[in-house]
Amino acid sequence: MKLSELLLNVETESKYTDADISDVTDKSSEISEKCVFVCIKGSKFDGHSVAKQAEASGAAAVVAQHDVGVKNQIIVKDTRKAYSRLCAAFYGNPAEKLKLIGVTGTNGKTTTTFLIKNVFDTLGVKSGLIGTVKNNTGDREYTASLTTPDSKQLQALYREMVDSGCKYCIMEVSSQALEQGRVDGCHFDIALFTNLTQDHLDYHKTFENYANAKRKLFENCDTAIINIDDEYAEKMVEGLDCEVLTFAVNSENSDFSAKNVKCFADSVQYELLTPDNIGRINIKIPGRFTVYNSMGAAACAIKAGADFDKVLKAVSRSKGVPGRVEVVPTDKDFTLLIDYAHSPDGLKNVISSIRETTNGRIITVFGCGGDRDRTKRPIMGRTVGELSDIAVVTSDNPRSEEPSLIIKDILEGMTECKAKIEVIESRTQAIKFALGIAKKGDVVLLAGKGHETYQILKTGKIHYDEREVVADILKGSI
């Protein structure tokens, strides 16, 4: 491929010499002969600092935001956005051959995308999936490392989807990905908004920045499907010229609405209404938030052209998502759930839903991630302390921070809560304690890890699957 072909959709501010290209990368460790190296400035490393090293290592061209002193340099306004477009061109612009459905919001992205994929699979529509738990390209699956992959991996996944005959790509689109331009140049047929609550302020700094990042998805879509029960719904689409469809449980003025909602310990039931149709959904995923997630998924599928009745049947047959209100078998007379909730609102939603369907105690084991938004720690502590009967504060993914200091931040919000508080820094010992005190009818909630099978410590990432930990505790080997 020629450099000029890669740059067809990139606005450049300098002249360059055309050349044969073998690869595109923004990673200094991947610089190779005839590659294009894109200089991106991150929070810890600035790619511009190794531009000359890239040239010396055989890079055919360097893309930068300012003069970096190499012979074949291409100056652009934003290297992140340019990188996204360069990667798309390198893989033959595969997104142009797919219908993209993007889901964004603080909570519910993973479940909603899984449900849409399940509906399409049931209806015989081949589709790919990109998100927090896994990436599926139609014929192959990969473990995910980011909610939304970096630009190069994303375009490679799109390419596989096209080659395997996928018609749709259903994907979670994170605020960081939108802010960093990872999906720049990708046009979404449908974009769905789940909700917006405090999260990722370590990256975005202010809630306004966080909201504005989410909004970027709706600036580049044909149809926005919006949960108008959320107070930030209007901000997402205000002033945009795309088609807007709405869904809600509490509003009478939505395109899709849920009526006669009933929540059970293992499922939810409700009637889905549109101006032209009415039908019943009975889905085996507990929690009131499942109503919103399944409504959003149904709305996307119906907007994509699927039959209303077939969509409702397909949604009702859908199974749960790993690590999302996942019931762990124990052969005990209490219930054990694993959930990914790691934000104040996520914890509020899952614990409140448990409260609706249990008469026993709720024992919540939770912590907060290190090197992330510290301001949400006391809020999470207060949320768990107010809604649970017993709160076991422990470690999550401490990363470079000391677990004891993270726990101290959490406890600042728990000074007047009603729950009995236990502090056990070791997550394994915290789980063992919770299982040991659980009685008949209680619910033990392990919150924060969800689908993850690892823990990130100061010393690095270690294998840590809570299902295995639970099994070992129940066998008596821990």
Q: Give the domain ranges of the chain.
A: 3-79, 94-317, 326-475
Distance CA 218, CA 230 (A): 16
| Average pLDDT estimate for 404-425 | 97
Q: Mean pLDDT score of the chain, rounded to an integer?
A: 95
Q: Which residue has the tokens 């990722």?
A: 200
User: What is the model's pLDDT at position 210?
Assistant: 87
Is the confidence at residue 203, as pLDDT, over 90? Answer: no
| Average pLDDT estimate for 161-177 | 96
Confidence of residue 44 (pLDDT cuts 50, 70, 90): confident
At the top level of CATH, which class does the domain 326-475 belong to? Answer: alpha beta
At the top level of CATH, which class does the domain 94-317 belong to? Answer: alpha beta
Confidence of residue 43 (pLDDT cuts 50, 70, 90): confident
- 106-119 as b/e: b if 16+ CB within 10 A: bbbbbbbbbbbbbb
| Average pLDDT estimate for 456-464 | 96
| Average pLDDT estimate for 80-108 | 96
| Average pLDDT estimate for 441-447 | 96
User: What is the model's pLDDT at position 266?
Assistant: 85
Residue-wise pLDDT tens digits, 354-369: 998 899 999 999 999 9
Confidence of residue 246 (pLDDT cuts 50, 70, 90): very high
Residue-wise pLDDT tens digits, 298-307: 999 999 999 9
Least confident of 169-178, 201-210, 213-222, 418-427: 201-210
Is the confidence at residue 403, as pLDDT, over 90? Answer: yes
Distance of alpha carbon 56 from the chain centroid: 39
Residue 471: phi and psi, rounded to 5, are -60, -45
Q: Which residue has the tokens 């677990």?
A: 403
* CATH fold of the domain at 3-79: 3.40.1390
Least confident of 263-267, 309-313, 337-341: 263-267
Is the confidence at residue 200, as pLDDT, over 80? Answer: no
User: What is the model's pLDDT at position 202?
Assistant: 64
Q: Do domains 3-79 and 326-475 have the same CATH topology?
A: no
| Average pLDDT estimate for 280-297 | 95
Residue type, 406: I
Distance CA 139, CA 137 (A): 6
Least confident of 339-348, 400-409, 437-446: 339-348
In order, the DSSP letters of 260-295 are EEEE-SS-EEEEEE-SS-EEEEEES--STHHHHHHH
Is the confidence at residue 265, as pLDDT, over 90? Answer: no
Distance CA 343, CA 340 (A): 9
DSSP 3-state of 265: coil
| Average pLDDT estimate for 422-440 | 98
| Average pLDDT estimate for 142-168 | 96
User: What is the model's pLDDT at position 441?
Assistant: 94
